Structure 1
Amino acid sequence: MHLLTAAPTTAAKPTVLTNVVLALFRVLVGVSFAFHGCSTLFGKPVAPHGALPAVGAWPSWWAGMIELVAGAAVALGLGTRIAALLCSGAMAYAFLTVHLKHGILPIKNGGEPAVLFCWSFFLIAIIGPGPYSLDALIGRYRRGSAD
């Protein structure tokens, strides 16, 4: 039986380890992104690349808000798929409008963080938050089971 042509008979059920790793990945990516937002908007924990943006300034203030709010939502696992998709789109926009004009390769144009965040958030949007998230907790509460 060839690996590329074999059709799986049943879907593999995620293990506890898989769920823990997904939760850690989601939290670390979300918190890292939220820190970018804090830096952009408030200059904390580190100063941004330039001056702090004025409230409502396009695109830096809006990018900072997406990074802070949606990054925190992903870390908490709250509205995860939508928040992660918004984060992914924001990083795709950043790569296309800021980095691509300096070359196509992310290692050359300084876009490696944008690419990694973009695809990490896209993965989270597709896979979902996993069972260790507020989304899952809310879902269990709505179904009436407290397990």
Structure 2
Amino acid sequence: MEPHSPTPLNSSAVGMSSHSSSRSAQLILADLQKSYEYQGADTCAADGMCQEKCPVKINTGDLIKHIRAEQMDMAPRSSATAKRMQAAASLALGLSGREKMTMSWMSLPRLQYPTAPRPPYSTVITLVHTCHTPMCKQE
């Protein structure tokens, strides 16, 4: 089955339905957004050419550009939140006197992975000389 992108009208419907507040609508919306992520957002060129095919001239390229910009804005916020959580955890461990215990646990030596036994190496080297190479031409 060949993948297909949703029509501009379907893309707009996904956006409008995200404002519904009922529980069943939220469950349906979560499933719809999950499947829309690839078919609608990841495969969109965001160049506005879908507007030419749309009977009501909806440009979903602008919508996809907006969605991608929001996703890009989330990365720095997530990183900053993780740094704050790490600092808070470190402070909490320090205040409770367990920081040294935690750090000693984290500095355990790495486990050595077992390796397969190697076959014994032969010290006998066998050279095979053939007369099919240019070096062995007989004149």
Q: TM-score range by the shorter chain?
A: under 0.3
Structure showing the higher helix proportion among its residues: 1
Greater gyration radius = 2
Bigger relative contact order, structure 1 or 2 (CA pairs below 8 A, ≥6 apart): 1
* TM-score, with length taken from structure 2: 0.24
